[in-house]
Amino acid sequence: MTMHPITRRQLVAAGLLAVATQPLAALANGAWPSKPVRFIVPFPAGGPVDTTARAASLKLSEIWKTPTVIDNRAGAGGVVGAQAAAREAPDGHALFMGAIHHAVNPTLMGNLPYDIEKDFAPISFAAMFPVFIVAHAEVPANDLKELIALARRSGSDLSYGSSGNGGGTHLAGELFNMEAGTKLQHVPYKGSAPAMNDLLGGQVQLMFSDAPTVLPHVKGGRVKVLAVASRERSAMLPDVPTAAEAGLAGYEAYSWAALFAPAKTPQTVLDKITTDFNTAFNDPVVRQRLLDAGAQAAPGTQQEMRQFLRAEIDKWAQVIKTAGITAG
Judged by DSSP in three states, 120 sits in: strand
Assess whether 82 and 148 both reside in one domain.
no
> How far is it, in rounded angstroms, from Cα 112 to Cα 162?
24
Judged by DSSP in three states, 60 sits in: helix
What CATH number did the domain enclosing 297 receive? 3.40.190.150
pLDDT band at 252 (very low <50, low <70, confident <90, very high): very high
| Domain end residue (candidates: 168, 194, 228) | 228
Assess whether 261 and 217 both reside in one domain.
no
Domains in the chain: how many in total?
Answer: 2
Cis peptide before 266 (omega within 30 of 0): no
Assess whether 49 and 122 both reside in one domain.
yes
> How far is it, in rounded angstroms, from Cα 194 to Cα 184?
19
Residue 24 has pLDDT above 90, yes or no: no
Query: If you average pLDDT over every residue of the chain, what do you get?
Result: 90
Assess whether 86 and 76 both reside in one domain.
yes
pLDDT band at 8 (very low <50, low <70, confident <90, very high): very low
The residue segments making up the domain with residue 108 are 37-128+254-323
Assess whether 109 and 180 both reside in one domain.
no
> How far is it, in rounded angstroms, from Cα 162 to Cα 204?
10
Q: Mean pLDDT over residues 114-143, rounded?
A: 97
Evaluate whether residue 174 is within a structural domain.
Answer: yes
pLDDT band at 13 (very low <50, low <70, confident <90, very high): very low
Give pLDDT tens digits for 199-222. Answer: 999 999 999 999 989 988 987 888
- Rg for the chain, CA atoms, rounded: 23
pLDDT, position 25 = 46
pLDDT, position 221 = 83
Give pLDDT tens digits for 34-84. Answer: 999 999 999 999 989 999 999 999 999 999 999 999 999 999 999 999 999
Assess whether 269 and 121 both reside in one domain.
yes
